[in-house]
Structure 1
Amino acid sequence: MKKSLTALAVLAVAGVASAQSSVTVFGIVDASVTGYSNKSSDLNGPTILKPFYLNKGSVTTSRRELANSAYNTSRMGFRGTEDLGGGLAAGFWLEAPISNDDGQQGIATFARRSTVSLSGGFGEVRLGRDLTPTVWNEVVFDPFSTNGVGANLILTANNAGFGNFGTPAASTAPFTNVGTNNYIRASNTVGYFLPPNLGGFYGQVMYGFSEKTKYSPGQATPDVANSQRQGRYAGGRFGYANGPLDIALAYGSSTIGDQFYVGTTTKINSLNLGASYDFGPAKLFGELSRATNKMDYEVTPAAGGRPDIDLTGYLIGVTVPVGVGLIRASYAGVKFDANQPSTPFAPRVADPKSNKLAIGYVHNLSKRTALYATVARLNNKNGAALTVGGPAFVTAGGFTAKTSTGYDFGLRHAF
């Protein structure tokens, strides 16, 4: 009996395998020695009220570690396609983050991507968890993409310091959170991609469901925050790539909060434009970005409601091939604007700003294996507190975040 069951199981697996056109196991293992140094300064001095104030100088937090994903994000995945005939194909993609520096996180969640799709001459319809259209420009049009101490500053500012993009459920340590933070990736989405034969034009749209429970009549709705719309995402990206030129415009709207009985909905609307041009000896990159954290009211308050909060950013970068290696460099800046009304006879509060310079080198030992090194320095002004990574700034006791410096020296292998 056991032999019969085993034979049936083998036949079933063989039947699935024969119907599947291709199944691939893939991944990246990336490890680096990484260091961070984040400095805060006491910017205060003697005043009329405190004539004998003694400035405390500065305090630095630092850390050195064996990290992962400083060049490419460590991952392991499975993807496959099935030819359905008539130009149709079905596909799946399951991709998990891994922490190879300590082995603590393996294939526990497919938090990077978890999709099933149907494609043909009409394009591709994709269902599941995926990258949002708006984050693609920050991935593609930065020499350092989203990894390591040189990672895109615009992405850092949006993801770490601009509205929190929702209130995700608590993570189950040490697994990556797949809650409602939909700045980089969104869950519960339906996406559509244009076919690739449009003379260089490409594009996609995505809608992510909030999956909130609705009540009828509305008075039965619980009086709790974020019960109706928070978590919803809608966005799109359209571009043109031909020869050395690639340019794309993306827009996305993330609903990050709602109060049903107050009648408010809080959204972050993001717009960015990215481009690159390969001259041969060097490839140039650029990005312009604007995000607005806004609150919509069913009934606008007499005082006008909360002002919008804006985050603007720019980035320029370059890569230069040198033999089997690649030099990378970028410079970026961001500014936060709370749009607060000016107060008579009071100095205007300066907008928080940050800028970042990153330089690196990648030495390709083969098509799949590379050594790399990156150094980066970030400067904060007017109360901004962004870092290249590592420990938080000391801000208690009158200290203000100032500079953040970091380095990565690592090895990446893809399979």
Structure 2
Amino acid sequence: MIPFSISGRARPLVWLACSMATMASAPHAKAQSSPASQVAVYGIIDMGLEYRTHNNANGNSQWRVNSGGLNTSRLGFKGSEDLGGGLKAQFNLESEVVVDTGATGSSFFGRQAWVGVDHKDWGGVSLGRMSTVAYDFTISHDFMGFAPQYSWVTATASVPSSAFTSRISNALRYLGKFGAFKVGANVSLGEVPDSINANTGRGLSVGYDAGALSAQLSYDEGRTGATATATDSTKNRSIIASGTYALGGTKLFAGVRNTHRDPVGTINAGNPKFTSTLYWLGASTPLSPAITAFGGLYYENKHGTGSDPLMLAGKLHYNFSKRTWLYATAAIARAPSDDSTQTLTGVYRDQTPVASHQTGLGIGIQHRF
């Protein structure tokens, strides 16, 4: 036996994994003894080495070991039980894992924590913390795959940044599929006394998937900043249209997202009012049975300014198997000056940019289980 120790932060994950494994193997556990019940442990381990220019106000570059270059590293548990009559119960618990340090995300199950029921003809309803329908319907239409390294679809890496809501808490979501069409709706409760709007979220999506074409149209609205005594919320509204079209092995990607932020309180640099329209266009194509190339551009029209950031981005996948691949990413972002002022922009969506241009390069490996 090899001795080992478990850090305090890792103990909850290990405890939960062991508990789930014990439940799965218990011969008298009703949910696990039924052949119609299923529980799965899954995850993504994504690690890489990244180089970025202009990482501080002095213009210094930086090397770093990065967790989640293509996709956020995660550990999850999901399951379902057949209830008969085409109905089944479902749940999903999913936690971010910061693999380079071993830490978890800001919330233990901050990515997914929901339970619901689904009918084979009518669709499914879920309650808890979950991804929005705008996120679910748009994600496959981004040629970089909503990658932190490097995509602007969920959030633009410019100041001020525009974004739509990726996840919601205290939420109710409906997803249904009817032939080639799919529909989704979500609402999150703000839980502020005497207000049905404060700190809430709303979303509606319609999609179509048939043959070579996939397309969707989404509306997303998020409200934040209210309190029990001041129930007005800052409103962030986005309309997103996107799609893909397959031409043999080559796939074309395109989309547009219009976002309007209407703040509560004094409007200033830290609390801006703006309208932004993001466009993206890209493609993917196989270079060999194991290698696929992706590339394209993101362009943001910052309404009312003459400084519209642009990012060129691309990646290569080398597939060892269906679950493990190497990848390389590259991007360059620039924003022209606007009336002698500097618009800050960058390649990494989760970092506040500090310069009007930035370049990023990365290599990594991802394994899914």
Per the TM superposition, whether the score is higher than 0.5 is: yes
Matched with 1:143 is 143
Among 366, 384, 396, the residue aligned to 2:343: 384
Deviates more, 1:10-19 or 1:64-73: 10-19
Structure number with bigger Rg = 1
Change (3 A) 1:108 1:190: closer
Once the two structures are aligned, what percentage of the paired residues are identical? 27
Q: Which has the higher contact order (CA 8 A, sep 6+)?
A: 1
- Candidates 218, 224, 229, aligned match of 1:250: 218
Is the partner of 2:309 in helix, strand or coil? strand
CA RMSD of aligned residues (A): 2.9
TM-score, normalised to structure 1, is 0.73
Residues in 1 aligned to 2:41 and 2:213: alpha-carbon distance in whole angstroms: 32
Residue matched to 2:301: 335
Quote the residue 1:288 is aligned against. Answer: 256
Between 128-137 and 60-69, report the one with greater CA deviation: 128-137
Alignment partner, residue 373 of structure 1:
328
User: Are 2:85 and 1:86 aligned?
Assistant: yes
Q: 1:32 aligns with which of 23, 48, 60?
A: 48
- 1:186 paired residue number: 168
Structure 1 residue matching 2:142: 3-state secondary structure: coil
Could you state the TM-score of these two structures normalised by the residue count of structure 2?
A: 0.82
* CA–CA distance in structure 1, aligned partners of residues 180 and 83 of structure 2: 26
Pick one of 203, 206, 211 that aligns with 2:191. Answer: 211
Tell me by how many angstroms 1:126 deviates: 1.1
Q: Deviations over 1:241-294 (max 9, x none)?
A: 001100000001111234887884431111010010010131000001101112
Is the contact made by 1:330 and 1:357 (CA closer than 8 Å) also made in structure 2? yes
Superimposed CA distance per residue, residues 365-401 of structure 1 (whole angstroms, 9 cap, x where no aligned partner): 000000000110000223322222387555xxxxxx2
SS in 1 for 2:335: strand
Residues 262 and 310 of structure 1: CA distance in aligned 2, closer, same or farther (over 3 Å): same
Residue 83 to residue 37, structure 1, CA distance change in 2 (3 Å): same
Residue of structure 2 in register with 1:131 after alignment: 131
Pick aligned residue for 1:269 from 237, 242, 264:
237
Return the alpha-carbon distance in structure 1 between the equivalents of residues 272 and 115 of structure 2: 41
Contact conserved, 2:158 with 2:343, CA < 8 A, in 1?
A: no
Q: Is the 8 A contact 2:250 2:286 kept in 1?
A: yes
The count of residues paired between Structure 1 and Structure 2 equals 332
**Aligned partners of 1:319 and 1:192: how far apart in 2?**
31
Q: Deviations over 1:131-152 (max 9, x none)?
A: 112234542211112214322x
Aligned residue number for residue 117 of structure 1: 116
Partner residue of 1:360? Answer: 315
Question: Measured at CA, do residues 253 and 109 of structure 1 come closer, stay the same or move farther in structure 2, by a change above 3 Å?
Answer: same
Structure 2 counterpart of 1:79, one-letter code? K
| Cα pair distance change 1:384/1:136, threshold 3 Å | farther
Residue of structure 2 in register with 1:176 after alignment: none
The aligned residue for residue 32 of structure 2 is: 17
Partner of 2:281: 316
Amino acid at match of 1:384: T
Instruction: Map Cα deviations across residues 314-370 of structure 1 (whole Å, 9 max, x no partner).
Output: 000100012211101020111223x5xxxxxxxxxx343211001211000000000
Conserved 8 A contact 2:52-2:63: yes
The 1:160–1:70 alpha-carbon spacing in structure 2 relative to 1, beyond 3 Å, is farther
Whole-angstrom distance in 2 between the partners of 1:38 and 1:413: 30
Note if contact 2:158-2:346 (Cα within 8 Å) is conserved in structure 1.
no
Q: Give the letter aligned to residue 237 of structure 1.
A: S
Contact 2:159 2:344 in 1 (8 A): no
| Displacement after TM superposition at 1:116 (Å) | 0.6
C-alpha spacing 1:392/1:192, structure 2 compared with 1 (3 Å) = closer
Does the 8 Å contact 1:363/1:370 carry over to 2? yes
Q: CA deviation at 1:308?
A: 5.5
Match of 1:16, SS state, is helix
Q: Secondary structure at the match of 1:274?
A: strand
- The structure 2 residue matched to 1:279, chosen from 247, 250, 254, is 247
Distance 1:228 1:246, change over 3 A: closer
Specify the code of the residue in structure 2 equivalent to 1:82.
E
Instruction: List gaps (5 residues or longer) in structure 2.
Output: 1-24, 266-270
